[in-house]
Amino acid sequence: MRVVNQLEAPVVRAFKNFPSMPEDAKETFAKAWPYLALIFAIFQILGAYSAWRVVQFVDQFNYYQSFSTSDRITIYLGVIIMLVDAAVLFLAFSPLQKRAKRGWDLLLLGNFINIAYAVVALLMVGYGMGSSLMSLLATVIGLYLLVQVREKFTSKVMPIERTRVAPPKREALEKKA
């Protein structure tokens, strides 16, 4: 996580001149991030599965125009990157619920993994440019939202509210005896 912490300052600087969100919107996004992370993780898994199935389908039914070895390697590399991103997003769920900075850091890491996918997607023949541009657009939007809610996540885990039951007083115990 040291690398993510080193990359945090340049990202925050890059988005400091962007318009700030209202405080209630920041709070809403901070509450929603755990569930958004789960949704995006599921989308990543579905995208990885779809890309893998495309290769399998083309190879099975189209003997004359199958993917080249380099295309196949690129697509499989993209699938691996999407699965790693999904794993990071799943790992972020619990810390995000507790408003821990670690959850925020994992989302930042997920955005950098998404940039890696965008680079790999450029190498994919046919639909790489569109996939890469959409990935970069999603990353920019995600980074903006992350920077906006950054102050809502602390280094310490937010305590869970619990009702504390006071122990019985000594006099009450003596009267019962």
pLDDT at 121: 84
Return left, alpha or beta for 126; rule: phi > 0 is left, psi -120 to 50 is alpha, else beta.
left
pLDDT at 91: 96
Q: What is the mean pLDDT of the chain?
A: 84
What mean pLDDT comes out for the span 31-58? 90
pLDDT at 124: 74
Lowest mean pLDDT among 10-24, 47-61, 69-83: 47-61
Q: Which band of pLDDT confidence, cut at 50, 70 and 90, is reported for residue 62?
A: low
Residues in the chain: 177
pLDDT surpassing 90 at residue 36: yes
Choose between 167 and 121: higher pLDDT.
121
Highest mean pLDDT of the ranges 2-11, 17-26, 149-158: 17-26
Beta bridge partners of 154: 100
pLDDT at 158: 47
pLDDT surpassing 90 at residue 68: no
Say what angle helices 23-61 and 128-149 make with each other, to 10 degrees. 160
Instruction: Determine contact, residues 85/117, Cβ cutoff 8 Å.
Output: yes
What mean pLDDT comes out for the span 19-46? 94
Q: Could you report the per-residue pLDDT of 76-134, keeping only the tens digit for each?
A: 898 999 999 999 999 999 999 999 999 999 999 999 999 998 898 888 766 677 888 88
pLDDT surpassing 80 at residue 163: no
Instruction: Determine contact, residues 158/100, Cβ cutoff 8 Å.
Output: yes
pLDDT at 53: 87
What mean pLDDT comes out for the span 156-171? 54
